[in-house]
Amino acid sequence: MNINGKPVTLEADGDMPLLWALRDVIGLTGTKYGCGAGLCGACTVHLDGAPVRACQTPVADVGTAKITTIEGLSATDLGRKLQAAWAALDVPQCGYCQGGQLMAAAALLRDTPKPSDDDIDAAMAGNLCRCGTYTRIRAAIKQVAGVRA
C-alpha cells in the first residue's frame, strides 16, 4: 500500500475496513471512527485524491490507489492552507470530526477551487459535526478558496 507517499506493508484480512487497518494495524489514528456505517464522515480519507469513507472501504479494494490520510494532508499546499485556516478561524470544538471535514474540504477545493455555497453544502453534507461547527467550516473553506464569505 502507499500511504501518505510512503510504501507500507499491511498484513490484514482483505475484508478489514481501511479505517481499522489504519488505526489498529498501521497506527495512524487521525482517521476517526464515528459510526462505521458511512453516516458521519469522520473516517474520510483520499484514494487517489477522491474522498472515500474508510469504514466502508475493505483493504482488498484499495488496490494500487494512493491513500492520503489527515496525517498526510500537509504534503500539499492546499492541505496546509486548509489546516492553517482551520486553526486560525478556530473551527474545532472537540475536534473529533475535523480530520474528516478537512479531507472532504480538500477534495472539494481540488476539484472546485471556487465553490458556491451549494457546492460546499453538497461536498460537506456527509460529514457530521456533533459540536455544530459548520458555520466556521464554511468560513474556513471560503477563506482558503478566496470567495466571498
Q: Is 16 in the site for ligand FES (CB under 6 A)?
A: no
Give the interface segment with ligand FES, choosing from 62-70, 87-95, 106-114, 138-146 (CB under 6 A). Answer: 87-95
3-state secondary structure of 16: coil
Place of cell 453544502: 121
Q: Which helix (H) or strand (E) holds 68?
A: strand 66-68
Residues 117-136 that bind other proteins (CB under 8 A): 120-122, 124-125, 127-136
Count residues binding ligand FES (CB under 6 A): 23
Residue 45 main-chain phi, psi, to 5 deg: -130, 175
Residues 21-40 that bind other proteins (CB under 8 A): 21, 23-25, 27-37, 39-40
Nearer to ligand FES, 103 or 145 (CB): 103
Count residues binding other proteins (CB under 8 A): 63
Given candidates 18, 45, 55, 73, which one binds ligand FES under the rule CB under 6 A?
Answer: 55
Q: Is 94 in the site for ligand FES (CB under 6 A)?
A: yes
Q: Which helix (H) or strand (E) holds 111?
A: helix 98-111
User: Do residues 120 and 138 make contact, with C-beta atoms less than 8 angstroms apart?
Assistant: yes
User: Do residues 103 and 44 make contact, with C-beta atoms less than 8 angstroms apart?
Assistant: yes
